């Protein structure tokens, strides 16, 4: 890219408020690239739906034909081979879309930087492409309450999913900055 803009990676525990912090960066002139949204978009692709149907049958679809993300999640978070297979399918699609977005906005003077809201930033090695990484910190009880409210998860589900990621203390230690998002929005 001729007009390279800074890339800021956002990491943190599940339910820490990474998306909220990313939104604040967006309000400050950054283009937020949300990997979770890109995955949701990929699930709408016909080729992805056909692949999922071949792998796992109709059980991972809703009655309207859309991908049932909860059913896919239940499958991949209980089977390492299935999780790796899904990652091999989706990660290249997400990377391609991220690159296209950055290319489209590379010369846009309104975009000050790119913010990658990518839950597996460290795990996938994407931190090496970031100029800075921000760790969003929130206490476990706060995060648990958030995922109970927004995702319907209990303590064992949060633990099960977090155990598939790098430990939070490691992510915090190797991040460039720490933002605390523990109570309300005014304190972030």
Measured distance CA(188)–CA(174) in Å, rounded: 20
Measured distance CA(78)–CA(83) in Å, rounded: 8
Per-residue pLDDT of the chain (188 residues; tens, 9 = 90+): 445 899 999 999 999 999 999 999 999 999 999 999 999 999 999 999 999 999 999 999 999 999 999 899 989 999 999 999 999 999 999 999 999 999 999 999 999 999 999 989 999 999 999 999 999 999 999 999 999 999 999 999 999 889 989 999 999 999 999 999 986 655 66
39, exposed or middle or buried, with CB in 10 Å at 0-12, 13-18, 19+?
Answer: buried
Q: Are 161 and 70 in contact (CB under 8 A)?
A: no
């Amino acid at each position: 890219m001729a007009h390279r803009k800074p890339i800021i990676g956002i990491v943190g525990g599940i339910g820490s408020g990474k998306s909220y912090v990313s939104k604040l960066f967006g309000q400050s002139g950054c283009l937020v690239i949300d990997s979770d949204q890109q995955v949701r978009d990929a699930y709408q692709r016909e080729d992805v739906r056909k692949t999922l149907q071949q792998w796992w049958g109709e059980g991972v679809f809703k009655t309207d034909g859309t991908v049932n993300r909860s059913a896919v999640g239940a499958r991949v978070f209980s089977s390492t081979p299935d999780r790796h297979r899904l990652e091999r399918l989706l990660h290249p699609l997400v990377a391609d879309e991220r690159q296209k977005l950055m290319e489209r906005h590379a010369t846009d003077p309104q975009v000050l930087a790119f913010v990658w809201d990518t839950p597996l930033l460290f795990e996938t090695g994407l931190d090496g492409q970031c100029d800075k990484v921000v760790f969003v910190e929130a206490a476990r009880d706060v995060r648990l309450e958030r995922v109970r409210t927004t995702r319907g998860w209990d303590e064992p589900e949060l633990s099960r999913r977090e155990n598939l990621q790098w430990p939070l203390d490691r992510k915090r230690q190797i991040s460039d900055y720490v933002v605390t998002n523990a109570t309300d929005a005014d304190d972030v």
